[in-house]
Chains A and B, each alone.
Chain A
Amino acid sequence: MLRVVVAALAGLTLTAQAYAADVPTEIKIGTLYASSGRFASISMPVYSSLKLWADLKNADGGVYVKAFDKKLPVKVVAYDDQSNTATAATLYNQLITQDKVDLLVADSGSVLTAPAVTIARDHKMFLFDQTGTGASFFSKDNPYIALMADPVSTIWPKPAADFVIHDGPALGIKKIAILYSTNEFTGTQANAFRKFIKDSGVPVEIVYDQGVPTETTNYTVIINNINNTHPDAVFTFGYAPNDIAFLRNVADVGVKFKMLFVIYAGLEKELLEKNVGDKGLEHVFTYVPPSDMEYPVNFGMNLPTYKAAWDKKYSDGKLEFGLNAVAGYTTGLVIEKALSVATSLDQMELRRAVFSLSGNLKTLCGPFALDETGGQIGELTPLGQLEPDGHGHLKFVSIYPHETATGKPVYPRP
């Protein structure tokens, strides 16, 4: 009997030791950021907000990991890819093969996410895609990816298109112009927008439809060409530098379009205000980002609390507070929630855990919902308009969808 008890105790001790050996001391999250180069302006806010989440969690003792039934600190292992995709590819591989991170998080934007998609799939690593909205990333044969904080490009412009389809005819919008920069992010949005309009059958004519290189910095001739087609609404899809140049040129030329939509007036409002000025942004239509719209949350901080935490940590004002400044935090929340329900750190189990959050998680980015390929379809940004707030600044007025609207559109632009 004594032998049996001793054997059982020895067995229990060994099991406990084995379990202790299996429990990691921390959860390693591998990611990249671009401190320089053309993607630095979108990458650094995303990375900084992911770091903010990690710091806050570690100050609180870590995140609860169901697989080990205990709280563990998170360690963000990050490398600087300098906006170079070949370097990014090497560094993603380094994170997986040498650092052996538990979770892989992509850098910001589609171009720097692209190398990670293949590498993650090759290594059977689930990729937490922060803001890489490229439609080509998501397919039924690739289970190793999900988009965290932005809508997939093919659905992102739906609120803007729906506004034209449903409210446009009553406002007198019959002719529209589309101008876009020829890159994946803005080109796909333009394609999707055009398709939504055409498929709707609404009597709206596209009188101008042109793609220009992303490097374009002078739009003077283009603006005159658009103006000559007498559009009732102009939709431009460009990156922040494109939008800045376009809006400055609109002011220079002295053209007043009845309705003008640009992407980054909303997504990076602070940046645009600095470079275009409030006057140039008045009555401009844009997306209302989650950094300027308070969504009800069931997990994590709400927008005012998060903004206070952001301002406290990054008080030097070097980082603009916009869409990207909430994207990394949202990724952190999805990771945290997934770890709290995943029964192991197996990558397919992590995928199952992330997909189980679809339709159930509400963060400051809005309702988290994934389609079957991992594309984000829940966090749609409403269409809004920038209006003077009466105190010398601009405020967002949400226009469409009507359920989230906070005002009526000012059309035509005064």
Chain B
Amino acid sequence: MPSALKHTLFIALPVLVIFAALPGVYQNHLLLFNFVIFLILAQGVNIIYGFTGYLPFGYVGFFGAGAYGFAVLVMHLHAPAIPAVLAAGLVGVVLGLLLTPLLRLSGAYFAIANLAASLAVLHLIANPALEQITRGPYGVSLSATFNPTYAYAAALVVLALTLGSVVFLKNSRSGLALQAVREDAVSASMAGVNVVRMRVIAWLASALVAGLAGGVYAWYVSVFYPDNVFSGEFSIFAIVFALFGGVASITGPIVGVVILYGIYNLIGFTTPQYFQLIYGLLIIGLVLFLPAGLVSLATRRGWHVP
């Protein structure tokens, strides 16, 4: 059996089936929805960081822009939700194209520039001068499209596309080329890899994923402010979850989200007073003992982790 099919059948499909079935047995649907959103975002981070080495601290910029892309289409063009979600993905891609020059930077410089870019987008959208278009800082209310059930289903579709993309990257020459670029761009170029094109493709794919996620998030929550959808915590959580599980793999970000976001909510529901302590210790422990993520526990022993 080809490994791509194996990964789809034994990793991606079970995740989708589980999250499709869970609303039937667990009533806190928004919690499940947030799990799906973070699965998408963590895989989005995986695409750009895991396969190219660019750490996107301002990843939330695409997410927020997607949410507002959705909102603008619904508010002004009275678009149905699904075309608006697609437009949200497009907004993410367009923003990604605008920010393509950032790829000239690397390491911490890229991370900081990306963070600054996301703040710039936030302040552009929250600017009172754009009130007629984005409602500026005053928030949007999208009661016309409010439908949590369909929004959850749409989030699952976006998750399926995202997982499909990661499975493709993991099992294709393109993914291999990207990893070669991440390890040594000069050598990869010498081997015939078009470094710039590969990086841009990964960057735009990552932006598309976040834009689509922002669109379905806007669809689900329907009332939000710029501060809600541009909250830096989306970036931080997505990055931490991806790193916790292990990047450049299909399972790493999934494991990271399920364990870390699960613990996050478990602590939040049971012992919120110890939240910072427990969560902080977990992350310190990860950085000190498992810098390559949980999957490195297996790879160190020579086990193959998809």
Q: Residues on A close to B: CB < 8 A?
A: 35-36, 79-80, 82, 84-87, 89-94, 97-98, 110-111, 114-115, 117-119, 121-122, 134-137, 139, 141-142, 182-184, 187-188, 191, 211, 213-214
Contacts and interface: CB of A to CB of B under 8 A. Distances in A.
Contacts of A92: 30
A90 B265 contact: yes
25 contacts: A79-B268, A79-B269, A86-B34, A92-B30, A93-B30, A94-B31, A94-B269, A97-B29, A114-B139, A114-B223, A114-B228, A115-B221, A115-B223, A117-B223, A118-B221, A118-B222, A121-B146, A122-B148, A136-B138, A136-B139, A136-B223, A137-B223, A182-B136, A183-B137, A187-B138
A119 B146 CA distance: 11
Contacts of A85: 224, 227-228, 231
Q: Which 5 A-B pairs have the closest CB atoms?
A: A80-B272, A97-B27, A93-B30, A182-B137, A136-B141
B126 interface: yes
A142 B146 CA distance: 12
A36 B30 contact: no
Contacts, number: 113
A134 B139 contact: yes
B234 interface: yes
Main secondary structure of the interface of A (DSSP, over half): helix
Interface string B118-140: 00000100111100000111111
A187 B227 CA distance: 14
Interface string B139-162: 111010010100000000000000
Given A84-B231, A118-B221, A91 B128 contact: no
A90 B30 contact: yes
A117 B146 CA distance: 12
A97 B22 CA distance: 14
A89 B140 CA distance: 16
B210 to A, nearest CB: 14
A234 to B, nearest CB: 18
Contact of B221 (A79, A89, A141): A89
B183 interface: no
Contacts of A91: 268-269
Given A114-B225, A183-B225, A86 B231 contact: yes
B141 A139 contact: yes
A114 B225 CA distance: 8
Interface of B: 27-31, 34, 123, 126-129, 135-141, 143, 146, 148, 221-225, 227-228, 231, 233-234, 264-265, 268-269, 272-273, 275-276
A177 to B, nearest CB: 16
Given A111-B225, A136-B138, A142-B143, A93 B29 contact: yes
Given A118-B146, A136-B140, A139-B141, A82 B29 contact: no
B30 A119 contact: yes
Contact of A118 (B31, B223, B275): B223
B265 A135 contact: no
Contacts of A80: 268, 272-273, 275
A97 B139 contact: no
A98 B26 CA distance: 9
B225 A97 contact: no
Contacts of A211: 127-129, 137
A256 B225 CA distance: 35
B228 A115 contact: yes
A213 B148 contact: no
A115 to B, nearest CB: 6
A182 B126 contact: yes
B171 to A, nearest CB: 32
A184 B28 contact: no
Contacts of A134: 138-139, 225
B143 A139 contact: yes
A325 to B, nearest CB: 21
A369 B15 CA distance: 50
B266 to A, nearest CB: 11
A122 B146 CA distance: 9
Contacts of B129: 211
Given A85-B231, A115-B228, A119-B30, A184 B140 contact: no
A93 B66 CA distance: 24
A336 B164 CA distance: 54
Contacts of B225: 110-111, 114, 134, 183-184
B138 A135 contact: yes
A111 B138 contact: no
A123 B65 CA distance: 28
A90 B29 CA distance: 8
A256 to B, nearest CB: 28
Contact of B123 (A135, A188, A213): A213
Nearest to B29: A93
Given A85-B228, A91-B268, A114-B225, A184 B137 contact: yes
Contacts of B139: 110, 114, 134, 136, 184
B141 A111 contact: no
A324 B225 CA distance: 22
